[in-house]
Amino acid sequence: MCLPLIARVVAVEGDLATVTLLEGETVRVNPILQPDVAPGEYVLLDRGLIIETIAVDQVEEMLRFYAELGEMWAQEDGVDVRGQPVAG
């Protein structure tokens, strides 16, 4: 399963947008699927493309979902979210 990355648009210049990922890394991506994207908006990224704009409350909701998903995957793998084995 692929999960889109969450980022905030910093600038849009021609056919490229500069975004900052939640981890702090700044990257350039293609906004062709969301041509009206503007600086300050939160977006979802997949394979170098902005695939959707999202509201701030959606960012918080998605982060909670990603955390829950990570915990579920870790439990299936028998480790905690830091990759340490859990007592069975």
Segments making up each domain of the chain, as ranges: 5-77
Q: How far apart are CA 4 and CA 81, in angstroms?
A: 19
Q: How far apart are CA 18 and CA 12, in angstroms?
A: 6
pTM assigned to the model: 0.76
The mean of the pLDDT values for the chain is: 87
Q: How far apart are CA 51 and CA 74, in angstroms?
A: 28
In the chain, which residues have pLDDT < 50? none
CATH code of the domain occupying 5-77: 2.30.30.140
Per-residue pLDDT, 1: 57
Using alpha carbons, list the distances in angstroms from residue 60 to 31, 34, 47, 48, 87: 22, 21, 22, 22, 31
Per-residue pLDDT, 71: 80
